[in-house]
Structure 1
Amino acid sequence: MSMLFNILVVLIIIVVAVLFLTRKDKRQSKHQYSHMVDEAKINAKKKTTHKPINAEFVDAKPEESISKTKVKSEAPEDFLAFQVKTSDKLTNEQRQVITEITQSFRKPHPLLLPLTQRSFEPNELFELIKKDTEMTAKVLNAVNSPLFALHQPITNINHAIIYLGVGQVKSIAMQFAMQQGMKFTDKNQNEAYQKLWKASYLASSFCALVAQEMGEENPAELSTRCLLSYLGDLAILSYKPSMAGFYLDDFTLFERTKVFQESMGVNAAIVGKYLANQWQLPNVIESGIDHSILPLTNGKVINDLSHNETRHLLLCYLSCRLGDLVSFNGLTDVPDYDEVSYEALGELEFYYTQENIELAGVNKINAVIADQAFKKKLNKIIAKVNADI
């Protein structure tokens, strides 16, 4: 009897232990994701490249800490040696990856192509947008949002164009054209998309303002180009939900690009260029997207571009990086600085900015960015977007 009792006790202990371990495993599995998020955020603050959340495609290895020091000479060696891959030197394997990404991405809204093809007179834009009832409703809803702080509601597209201008309404319409089908059930994927949407909107708004101050002939067209510079990021995020961590956890453009190139062999700019080609967007936009992150590395990479191409590239690049700082890094207002540089902003994305500015002969941009009145305009845009999104 005693032996039977001892056996029963042992069995009960084993059952209890199994149940405990099973529940523990479930709890660990349930909370594993949140632990990974916390760890990713800590590492990102240390500026260390690490694996993305739930990485199933990339195999990123920890890199040396990326310091935000303002001393240019102290930039990490891996950054100084880094080169942005370009679309003219792709292997068959890389082309296959691009094909898989672009083919899995949703088709563009029918209005996206005509919206990008040329500049519009107010009546022409009105006629184009009013053809699509859903687009009309979305544009009106946007212009009446807190973002624009209107005193009286706008009830028709024509009124919106007159009040906000062709460029602003066109930008809003294009935002919604890009958003078509971009709905994610994965929480982190959706949050990452919202950050990309915010960054692209801000970049577009910043570029229109900067280009106007610089006296560019087509601020609206450059604004459109900035907006579409995020196409590749959207496609990669849509293709691989595991990439969401690279947009949520304070990764820099350098860190994202480095990991994407090491894991997939391509970057967001190359993917965006192929999407633009697939959608038959204008050549100037396709090439603009293709070159969009070249200023991240040594200025020599843009030597083959014309003076106009280099100037437009820099205006768009700087606008996009400022949009990134607000959306991804939580910048709430433009700091007080005399130039756009690594020393002034402490971000590696601006390491070669002054070198590129001199190559492009657009030194005027430093004076524009440093102007207090201009900074107030930028901060007004940031405040409105942060309040609305």
Structure 2
Amino acid sequence: MDTSSILIPVVIIFGVVILLWRLKASNQDNDYSNTLLKVRKKRKGTIYAEPKSPANMVKESTAKKAPAIKEKPIEVPEVPEDFLSLELIHYLEFQRENETAKGFKNLRKPHPLLMSLSRSITDAQELINIVKSDPELVAMVLNMANSPFFGLRKAITDINHAVIYLGIAQVKNLATQFAISQSFAFESDSQKEAYERIWKTSFLASAMALYLAREVDFENPSELSTRCLLNYLGDITLLSMQPTAANFYLNGMPLFMRIKGMQSLFKTNAAVMGGIFGQHLKLPAELHQGIGLGYHPMKNNWDNVDITPEEKQNILFCYAVCRVAEYFVLEGDASYSKLPSIDYQVSHKPELFNLIEQLEACGLGSLNALLQSPRGKMKLSQMLADLKKSV
């Protein structure tokens, strides 16, 4: 048989098979491509999707955002009419119109160390020598130093150790408070109770001032701490001279109401009395004037007040710190302790109505943020808890 007659049909058949196989493979590629496109469309937005340009991503992100929820506006209460109508007695005018020592002749003779303790002390040995000159003062400082407020792990048994461990500022303030307490006498139970509240408030204010002044990087945290303590000198003076003044400290009365009541009954207020008594004690002029002007930030009243920007800053700082201490102790405001603030819109305290603007103007705008920070709130809460255990 002729082989060519056999090979030709075989080649033809083989060619047809190859052609059919190629056609089938081509169809499978198309199906696979279509299937992959379908999968990509189904998985749109995942890693399998086609890459998107940054512009498209921004557009899609914006389009997918949930509708903005309108925040409920903060309800700021109207300022009480009693606050708006209050006119502060001006310390400098009162000082000019009244004899400095008038009304103080019935008070105890001031503690001989009070003037020494009120001035700036930067040398530890100088403070140790002052405190050691009065054995009762040494005992009082050591007793307070070993209280829960300072959280010592080991008892302090001598004044040298107390100054080294607690620092000059803390020991100086403890000694100053003792010296102040020895200058006054309280007979009625209401006077004694009111004095205890004032003492606790001044103690907390001085401790807070030391912490906050260091945090905001003041050059003189120790002096500001002592000044906050001495800011209550007028409250104690007035309480000693006028027993009925105790009523202003026992019922959680707001500051502006206390001032209004004092000015109505006694024709003066605690800040003015503190400044006048400080002058009587021969405290430095800058110090007794700062005490006497202590309420002026409440009404933002600086007319006819000739002081340096630094002195005004000190007065504003102490005003803010003392108000916070009062809300903790004198007013016992539990809700305030959870959200301490010197912003009127948050605290709704009329005494703070004009404060934030003044603080920002003098470079203390960060003070409120520090008070509201987790660290600040924790520190102040701990101080308050330790104070309750200590005194």
TM-score after normalising by structure 1: 0.76
Rounded to whole Å, the distance in 1 between the matches of 2:373 and 2:204 is 19
Rounded to whole Å, the distance in 1 between the matches of 2:172 and 2:246 is 28
Rounded to whole Å, the distance in 2 between the matches of 1:184 and 1:129 is 24
Task: Report the CA distance between 1:257 and its aligned residue.
Answer: 0.7
Distance 1:365 1:192, change over 3 A: same
Distance 1:290 1:303, change over 3 A: closer
Q: Which residue of 1 aligns with 2:201?
A: 199
Q: Which residue of 1 aligns with 2:84?
A: 80
Cα contact 2:214–2:221 (8 A) shared by 1: yes
Distance 1:302 1:377, change over 3 A: farther
Task: Report the CA distance between 1:205 and its aligned residue.
Answer: 0.9
Q: Which residue of 2 aligns with 1:189?
A: 191
Q: Which residue of 1 aligns with 2:343?
A: 341
Rounded to whole Å, the distance in 2 between the matches of 1:119 and 1:81 is 42
Cα contact 2:108–2:183 (8 A) shared by 1: yes
Task: Report the CA distance between 1:107 and its aligned residue.
Answer: 2.1
1:146-166 deviation per Cα after TM superposition (whole angstroms, max 9, x unaligned)? 222322111101111111111
Distance 1:303 1:129, change over 3 A: closer
Paired residue type of 1:121: D
1:14-64 deviation per Cα after TM superposition (whole angstroms, max 9, x unaligned)? xxxxxxxxxxxxxxxxxxxxxxxxxxxxxxxxxxxxxxxxxxxxxxxxxxx
1:345-360 to structure 2, matched below 5 A, reads 345-360=347-362
Among 137, 159, 162, the alignment partner of 1:160 is: 162
Distance 1:292 1:118, change over 3 A: same
Distance 1:334 1:298, change over 3 A: same
Whether 1:113 aligns to 2:115 is: yes
Paired residue type of 2:250: L
Whether 1:298 aligns to 2:300 is: yes
Count of aligned pairs = 317
Distance 1:360 1:83, change over 3 A: farther
Rounded to whole Å, the distance in 1 between the matches of 2:338 and 2:302 is 29
Paired residue type of 1:202: L
Q: Which residue of 1 aligns with 2:98?
A: 95
Cα contact 1:295–1:302 (8 A) shared by 2: no
Which segment drifts farther, 353-362 or 325-334? 325-334
Which segment drifts farther, 300-309 or 172-181? 300-309
Structure showing greater relative contact order (alpha-carbon pairs closer than 8 Å, 6 or more residues apart)? 1
SS at match of 1:215: coil
Task: Report the CA distance between 1:195 and its aligned residue.
Answer: 0.6
Which segment drifts farther, 260-269 or 273-282? 260-269
Rounded to whole Å, the distance in 1 between the matches of 2:92 and 2:150 is 42
Q: Which residue of 1 aligns with 2:128?
A: 126
Cα contact 1:299–1:352 (8 A) shared by 2: no
Cα contact 1:102–1:274 (8 A) shared by 2: no
Q: Max radius of gyration: which structure?
A: 2
Rounded to whole Å, the distance in 1 between the matches of 2:307 and 2:75 is 29
Q: Which residue of 1 aligns with 2:216?
A: 214
Paired residue type of 1:266: T
Rounded to whole Å, the distance in 2 between the matches of 1:277 and 1:210 is 28
Paired residue type of 2:261: V
Q: Which residue of 2 aligns with 1:178?
A: 180
Cα contact 2:343–2:368 (8 A) shared by 1: no
Cα contact 2:205–2:325 (8 A) shared by 1: yes
Paired residue type of 2:271: A
Q: CA RMSD in A?
A: 2.2
Distance 1:204 1:301, change over 3 A: farther
Task: Report the CA distance between 1:87 and its aligned residue.
Answer: 2.4
Q: Which runs of 5+ in 2 are unaligned?
A: 1-73
Task: Report the CA distance between 1:282 and its aligned residue.
Answer: 1.3
Cα contact 1:207–1:219 (8 A) shared by 2: yes
Cα contact 1:222–1:316 (8 A) shared by 2: yes
Paired residue type of 2:314: H
Among 168, 171, 175, the alignment partner of 1:169 is: 171
1:1-389 to structure 2, matched below 5 A, reads 71-72=75-76, 74-90=78-94, 95=98, 99-298=101-300, 301=303, 304-331=306-333, 334-336=337-339, 339-389=341-391
Give identity over the alignment, percent: 36
